[in-house]
C-alpha cells in the first residue's frame, strides 16, 4: 500500500523541531549569564603571562565575566592592559583588590577580585558619570613574581659561589698554615701535659685561698658597717654646722681685708712718691759722700758687720719668739688692727716727709753746701760711734729679746701704745722740721733765713 505523506513537509517539520530544541537548550544554559554587563579595564604592572581572550574574571571565587582583550599600554610599556566584560551588578569599589592567578593544575591564568567597602561608590557608576571606562589596578601573578625572584636568587647565588671560589683560592695557604700551627700547638700541649696539670692544681689552690679571703672580707665589711652605724649622726651634723659658721665668719672677716689692702695701696703710692723725691736727693748726696773719708766708712762698716753677727744670734732668739707668737694669735689679731691704724698714720707722715725732702733739696742747692759736707762727716763719725756702742751692747740686747720671748706679747701691746705716742712725737718733730729744716744739720733751734722777695739788680 502506498503512503501519500509529503516528505518535504515532514522534513521541514523535523528540522524546525530540532532547531527549537537546540534553541531551548541554549537559552536554558545561558539564561544565567545574560544579565547586564559592563566593560572593566585591568592595569597589570610587569608581566601578564597566561592571560588571554576568554580568561575568567572571578570575584571571591565566583565567575563574573571574561577577558575580551589583552594588550600593552603604549604610553607606559611597563604596564599590560586587560579589558574584561563583567556583570554590571558586581560591587567593585576603589578598595577592591585584584590579582592575576592560576586556575588549578591547568595553568590557565585568570583575574580574581576580592574585598571592597560597600559604602564606597561603585566604579561602574562613577565611570558612567564621567563617561569613561571603569579601571582598576591588578597585581601580577604570584607565580610570576616567584619565578622572577627565583631567577634573581640563582643569579646572586652564582655570584656568591664565584666569590667563594676566589676566597678559597686566596685563603688556602693561610688556612693550611693555621692548621699546621694548631697541630704544633697540640703537640706542645701533649709534651707539657705534666706542667698543665701542675698549673691547674695551683689554680685550684688559688681559688681555695680566694674563697678564704672572701670570708675575711665579709667579716671586715661587717665590722666597717658596725663602725659606721656607731657614729653619732647628730655629732656629724654639729661638726658640719660648726664648719659652716666658721666659713661664714671667715667670709665676713674677708670684707675687712679690702679696707686694709686699700690702705696698704695708698701707703705704697705715697712711698713711691717719696722714693722719687728721695732719688733726686740721693743724687745730690752722692757728690757729698764722695768727699767723705773712705777709711772712716770702712771702719764703720766693720762695726756694722760685727753687729750683724750679733743680730744673727738675735734672729735665732726671734725664732723662739715666733713660736710664742703662734700661741698668742688672738693678741696678734689685735696687734694687726693697731698696725693698720699705725700704717694710716705713717701714710700721712710720708706725705709730710715728701714736702720736707723737697725743702731739703732746695737747701742743698743753696750756698751752704760746704758746711753741709762738714756736718755730714761729723754725722758719719757719730754713726761710727753708735755702731761701736751697738756692738758692745748686742749681748745685752739679745738677753732682752730672750726675756721678751718669755713674757709673751703683753709687752707688745704696751709697745704699740708707746709707738703711737712716738708717732705723735715724730709728727710734731716733722712739723718743727718743716718750720726750721736747718736743725737736722746744726742742731738747736737755729735761725731761718728770711727773704723779703725784692729783686736784686
**DSSP assignment of 53-103:** TT-EEEETTEEEEEEEEEEE-SS-TTEEEEEEEEETT----TT-EEEEEEE
- Is the pLDDT confidence value at 329 over 50? yes
Q: What is the mean pLDDT of the chain?
A: 72
Task: Yes or no: say if 297 and 378 are a contact pair by the CB < 8 Å rule.
Answer: no
Whether 154 is in a domain gets the answer no
Domain carrying residue 100: 9-140
Whether 305 is in a domain gets the answer yes
Specify the 3-state DSSP secondary structure of 116. Answer: coil
Whether 193 is in a domain gets the answer no
Residues 402 and 268 placed together within one structural domain of the fold: yes
What cell was used for 108? 590557565
180-211 tens-digit pLDDT: 888 888 888 777 777 777 777 777 777 777 77
Confidence of residue 10 (pLDDT cuts 50, 70, 90): confident
Whether 183 is in a domain gets the answer no
Residues 288 and 422 placed together within one structural domain of the fold: yes
Residues 304 and 433 placed together within one structural domain of the fold: yes
Dihedrals phi, psi of 227, to nearest 5 degrees: -65, -40
371-380 tens-digit pLDDT: 555 665 666 6
Domain boundary among 140, 160, 189: 140
Specify the 3-state DSSP secondary structure of 442. Answer: helix
Confidence of residue 31 (pLDDT cuts 50, 70, 90): very low
pLDDT of residue 457: 47
Q: What percent of the chain has pLDDT over 70?
A: 49
What cell was used for 296? 772712716
Q: How many CA atoms lie within 13 A of 361 on its CB side?
A: 16
**What is the model's pTM?**
0.32
When mean pLDDT is compared across 39-53, 223-237, 286-300, the lowest value belongs to 286-300
Dihedrals phi, psi of 193, to nearest 5 degrees: -65, -40
What's the average model confidence in pLDDT over 138-166?
79
Confidence of residue 21 (pLDDT cuts 50, 70, 90): very high
pLDDT of residue 166: 84
Q: Which of 8-12, 312-316, 375-379 has the highest mean predicted lDDT (pLDDT)?
A: 8-12
- Is the pLDDT confidence value at 356 over 60? no
Number of compact structural domains in the chain: 2
Whether 411 is in a domain gets the answer yes
Q: How many CA atoms lie within 13 A of 225 on its CB side?
A: 6
Confidence of residue 319 (pLDDT cuts 50, 70, 90): low
Count the residues in the chain: 457
Distance of CA 221 to the CA centre of its chain: 37
Residues 122 and 271 placed together within one structural domain of the fold: no
Residues 124 and 272 placed together within one structural domain of the fold: no
Domain boundary among 106, 140, 174: 140
Q: Which of 38-42, 169-173, 218-222, 311-315 has the highest mean predicted lDDT (pLDDT)?
A: 38-42
What is the rounded CA–CA span in Å between residue 293 and residue 380? 10
Confidence of residue 15 (pLDDT cuts 50, 70, 90): very high
What is the rounded CA–CA span in Å between residue 362 and residue 365? 5
Strand partners, 138: 98
204-233 tens-digit pLDDT: 777 777 777 666 667 777 777 776 777 667
Between 78 and 310, the higher pLDDT residue: 78
Whether 253 is in a domain gets the answer no
Nearest-Å Rg of the Cα atoms of the chain is 64
pLDDT of residue 420: 76
398-448 tens-digit pLDDT: 666 566 555 655 666 676 677 778 777 777 766 776 676 655 555 555 555
Whether 374 is in a domain gets the answer yes
Residues 293 and 437 placed together within one structural domain of the fold: yes
- Is the pLDDT confidence value at 80 over 70? yes
Whether 104 is in a domain gets the answer yes
Domain boundary among 108, 140, 172: 140
What's the average model confidence in pLDDT over 262-269?
60
Amino acid at each position: 500500500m502506498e503512503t501519500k505523506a509529503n516528505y518535504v513537509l515532514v522534513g521541514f517539520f523535523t528540522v524546525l523541531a530540532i532547531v527549537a530544541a537546540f534553541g531551548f537548550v541554549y537559552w536554558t544554559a545561558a539564561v544565567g549569564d545574560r544579565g547586564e554587563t559592563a566593560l572593566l579595564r585591568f592595569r597589570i604592572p610587569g608581566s601578564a603571562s597566561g592571560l588571554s581572550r576568554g580568561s575568567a574574571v572571578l570575584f571571591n571565587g565566583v565567575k563574573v565575566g571574561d577577558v575580551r582583550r589583552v594588550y600593552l599600554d603604549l604610553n607606559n610599556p611597563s604596564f599590560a592592559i586587560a579589558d574584561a566584560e563583567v556583570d554590571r551588578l558586581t560591587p567593585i569599589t576603589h578598595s577592591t583588590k585584584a590579582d592575576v592567578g592560576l586556575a588549578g593544575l591547568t595553568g590557565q591564568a585568570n583575574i580574581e577580585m576580592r574585598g571592597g567597602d560597600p559604602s564606597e561608590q561603585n566604579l561602574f557608576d562613577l565611570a558612567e558619570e564621567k563617561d569613561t571606562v571603569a579601571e582598576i589596578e591588578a597585581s601580577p601573578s604570584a607565580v610570576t613574581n616567584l619565578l622572577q625572584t627565583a631567577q634573581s636568587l640563582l643569579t646572586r647565588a652564582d655570584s656568591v659561589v664565584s666569590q667563594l671560589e676566589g676566597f678559597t683560592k686566596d685563603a688556602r695557604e693561610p688556612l693550611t698554615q693555621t692548621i699546621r700551627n694548631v697541630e704544633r700547638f697540640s703537640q706542645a700541649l701533649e709534651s707539657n701535659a705534666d706542667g698543665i696539670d701542675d698549673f691547674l692544681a695551683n689554680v685550684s689552690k688559688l681559688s681555695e685561698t680566694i674563697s678564704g679571703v672572701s670570708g675575711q672580707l665579709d667579716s671586715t665589711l661587717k665590722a666597717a658597717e658596725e663602725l659606721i652605724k656607731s657614729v653619732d649622726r647628730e655629732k656629724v651634723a654639729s661638726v658640719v654646722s660648726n664648719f659652716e659658721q666658721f666659713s661664714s665668719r671667715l667670709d665676713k672677716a674677708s670684707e675687712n681685708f679690702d679696707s686694709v689692702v686699700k690702705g696698704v695701696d695708698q701707703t705704697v703710692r705715697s712711698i713711691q712718691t717719696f722714693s722719687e723725691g728721695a732719688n733726686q736727693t740721693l743724687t745730690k748726696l752722692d757728690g757729698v759722700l764722695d768727699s767723705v773719708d773712705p777709711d772712716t766708712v770702712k771702719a764703720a762698716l766693720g762695726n756694722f758687720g760685727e753687729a750683724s753677727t750679733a743680730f744673727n744670734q738675735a734672729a735665732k732668739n726671734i725664732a723662739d719668739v715666733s713660736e710664742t707668737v703662734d700661741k698668742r694669735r688672738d693678741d696678734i689679731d689685735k696687734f694687726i688692727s693697731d698696725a693698720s691704724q699705725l700704717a694710716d698714720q705713717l701714710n700721712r707722715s710720708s706725705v709730710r716727709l715728701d714736702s720736707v725732702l723737697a725743702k731739703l733739696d732746695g737747701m742743698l742747692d743753696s750756698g751752704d753746701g760746704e758746711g753741709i759736707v762738714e756736718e755730714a762727716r761729723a754725722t758719719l763719725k757719730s754713726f761710727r760711734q753708735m755702731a761701736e756702742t751697738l756692738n758692745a751692747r748686742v749681748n745685752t740686747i739679745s738677753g732682752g729679746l730672750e726675756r721678751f720671748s718669755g713674757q709673751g706679747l703683753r709687752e707688745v701691746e704696751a709697745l704699740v701704745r708707746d709707738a703711737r705716742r712716738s708717732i705723735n712725737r715724730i709728727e710734731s718733730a716733722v712739723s718743727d722740721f718743716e718750720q726750721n729744716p736747718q736743725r737736722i744739720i746744726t742742731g738747736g733751734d737755729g735761725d731761718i733765713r728770711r727773704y723779703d722777695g725784692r729783686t736784686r739788680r
